[in-house]
Structure 1
Amino acid sequence: MTVITQTAGYGGNQLRTQENDMTTLNFTKTEAPEWLLAMWKEIDDKTFGKGFDCFADDAVCNLGVADWRGREGIRESLREFIDKGMTTHHDVVEYWDGGSLKIFRGLVTMNFDDPAKEPVRPVMTHFFYMDKTDPAKVSRWVGSVGPTEF
């Protein structure tokens, strides 16, 4: 199977082909783990503290077009994004645990500082790939939110 992947975010948009081995995983629908809830709480409270310890030091985060590198890069990039004029509240709808891969679906309420902007509540879907050497840490976070309007 040939899979098209992006090699860079933020306008890089260089595409390359990559051969991937296919894998079968079993998933269990369960309650969201504490590490995930702690991370969302840090974002919602705009504290950006220990909740980000769930990421490996060299974790990669791809949210939409974002390409953020390292735990501290992810923390600071999210802080910069959220602090640009909104407050959020994340709600868990469902969480699936596949061992090395965790899948989260939820809703995020976005209240904007600009009173002319109405709040929105888009759907979120996130994939958390766990670190091979430390399976308690996230090595890659791929997610999407929205659309927020049509």
Structure 2
Amino acid sequence: MTSTATTLTFTRKQAPDWLLAFWKEIDDKTFGKGFDCFAEDATCNLGVADWHGRETIRDNLRAFIDTGFTALHDVVEYWDGGQLKVFRGIVTMTPDDKSKPPVKPVMTHFFYMDEADPTKVSRWVGSVGPIAF
């Protein structure tokens, strides 16, 4: 078995504008320019999701949010490791059905930046949960 080790140095920073714009698009249910942070051929593994392409990511997140709740993403911490960015936060999910209480699952997300264009995310791996209404 062959193993390769990689060492990265991470710096805790304020969340960058591109990440805040992305979460805002979801929170506002607009799904617009905030998704431009993804490369056209980006992949997303969010929980069990395996989505390929920026437009597929956008469409599937829109479909998920349209299942009856409003989200509000809060940044707890953001770590910049150059090619890899790590985000931890809490998302308040408020059901449209006011008889159900909001839930606040913890999120952890890894954003791998594109080698050809390091201003774009090429792969997003994340987890949220558990969630239950």
Structure-2 residue corresponding to 1:137: 120
- The 1:67–1:20 alpha-carbon spacing in structure 2 relative to 1, beyond 3 Å, is farther
Give the gaps of 5 or more residues in structure 2: none
The answer to whether 1:117 aligns with 2:115 is no
- CA RMSD, aligned part only? 1.2
Task: Measure, in 1, the Cα distance between the counterparts of 2:45 and 2:5.
Answer: 21
Higher relative contact order (CA 8 A, sep 6+): 2
Give the gaps of 5 or more residues in structure 1: 2-18
Q: Secondary structure at the match of 2:40?
A: strand
The 5-angstrom pairing of residues 1-150 of structure 1 reads 21-149=4-132
Task: Measure, in 2, the Cα distance between the counterparts of 1:20 and 1:89.
Answer: 40
Q: Secondary structure at the match of 2:36?
A: helix
Q: How many residues align?
A: 132
Task: Measure, in 2, the Cα distance between the counterparts of 1:43 and 1:108.
Answer: 11
Task: Measure, in 1, the Cα distance between the counterparts of 2:113 and 2:52.
Answer: 15
Q: TM-score of the superposition, structure 1-length normalised?
A: 0.85
Shift of 1:113: 1.1
Q: Any idea what the Cα deviations from partners look like across 1:9-47, whole Å, max 9, x if unmatched?
A: xxxxxxxxxx65221000000000000000000000000
Task: Measure, in 2, the Cα distance between the counterparts of 1:131 and 1:20.
Answer: 23
Task: Measure, in 2, the Cα distance between the counterparts of 1:113 and 1:20.
Answer: 48
Which residue identity lines up with residue 22 of structure 1 in the other structure?
A
Percentage identity across aligned positions? 73
